[in-house]
Amino acid sequence: MEHSDLGPLRVSRVGLGCNNFGGRLDLAATRQVVDAALDAGVNLLDTADIYGNRGGSERLLGELLQGRRDRVVLATKFGGEMGDGAVGGAPAYVKQALEASLQRLQTDHVDLLYHHFPDDATPIADTVGAMSELVAAGKVRALGVSNVTADALAEAAATAEIAAVQNEYSLLAREAERELLPACLELGVGFVPYFPLASGFLTGKYRPGEAAEGSRLGTVEEGASVTRRASASFATVERLQRFADEQGHSLVELAIAGLASRPGVASVIAGATKPEQVRANAAAGDWQLTAGQLAALDAIA
C-alpha cells in the first residue's frame, strides 16, 4: 500500500471508513474488518462521534486498538447531534466533544480531528480557532474540515493550518472538481473523498430496481446524496465497467483509484462490512492511473 502526506501525517492511499462499526457491525465483525485493513496496509481509520448510534464506532475502535494504537492514523469528527443537546462548532463545545471522543477511543490523542458539518450559528474561523488550541495542547496532531465549500475552506485555512478536507466525491458525484479540489491544491490541503463507491452504484453488483448486498442504497444517511445517486445514469456505470475491464481492473478498483490518482487527493475513504471488501478496496491503492487513463476516464464520466 502506497502512502501520502496529509499535513504532518503519513496515510495509506486507501483509508477505512468506520461508520458501520457499532451499528451494522458488532465487536466480532468489526474486529475482522479492522484486522483485514491493517493486514492490507491500510493505516487511516476514519470515524466520528455520531457513528455507530452515537459513540459506538469510537468505543469499538478504542477496544480493538489497544496494544496497536501506534499502527494507525486515527481520525474522528465532531459536530453532529449526539442526543445531549450539544451540537455544532461552538468553541466551548469543541474541547468537550474531543474529550468525550478520547474517552471512548481509549487514547490520549487523535491524529486528525474534523469539524464534521457546517454550523450556521458559528463562524468556521471560531470553530477552527478552538480546534487549534487542541493541537497546541498535544491532544490533536492535525485539523480537518468536512462537508464544506471552497469559500469555507479558505476561511478555515486563514485561521489555522488545515491538513485535510473530507467531502463527498465519486465518479458519479464530481462536484468537488469544480471549486473544492482546485482550492485544496492552491492551499496545500489534502482532499479525502468519502462515498467513492457512490453508495453501491460503483460496486458492479447493482442493477436498476435492486440494491447491492451490503450497500447503503435505499438508506438515508448523514451526508449521502441518495436521491441524486438513485437517478444516476446506469449507462455511465456500464461505460465505466467496460473501461475498467479494458484496463484489467475491477469497477471497484477504478472507482477508488480514479480518485486516488487525482492530484490533491491524499487518501480515499472506503467503508466495509466484510474482510473481503476491505481487501478489494485496498487493492485499488496499487493502481496509479496515467494522465492518459485519467483523460479517457473524464471522457466517460
DSSP state of 176: G
pLDDT confidence bin for 221, thresholds 50/70/90: very low
Looking at the structure of the chain, the number of domains it has is 1
The C-alpha cell at 87 is: 451540537
Please state the pTM of the whole predicted model: 0.91
Domain that holds residue 80: 3-300
CA distance 251 to 167: 21
The answer for residues whose C-beta is within 8 angstroms of residue 78's C-beta and 6 or more apart is 48, 49, 93, 94, 97, 98, 101, 113, 114, 115, 116
How many whole angstroms separate alpha carbon 116 and alpha carbon 54?
Answer: 14
What pLDDT band is residue 208 in, cutting at 50, 70 and 90?
A: low
Please say if the pLDDT value at position 129 is more than 60: yes
DSSP state of 203: G
Does residue 218 carry a pLDDT above 60?
Answer: no
Distance, in Å, from the CA atom of 199 to the CA atom of 236, rounded to the nearest integer, reads: 15
Instruction: Report the CATH number that the domain containing residue 236 is assigned in CATH.
Output: 3.20.20.100
For the chain, the average pLDDT equals 91
Q: In a 3-state reduction of DSSP, which class is residue 272?
A: coil
Residues taking part in catalysis? 51
Nearest CA among 109, 144, 127, 141 for reference residue 267 = 144
CA 29, 30, 31, 34 torsion-angle sign: positive
Beta carbons of 134 and 31 less than 8 angstroms apart: no
Q: Which three cell numbers stand for residue 132?
A: 487549534
Q: Quickly count: other Cβ atoms within 10 Å of residue 91's Cβ.
A: 14
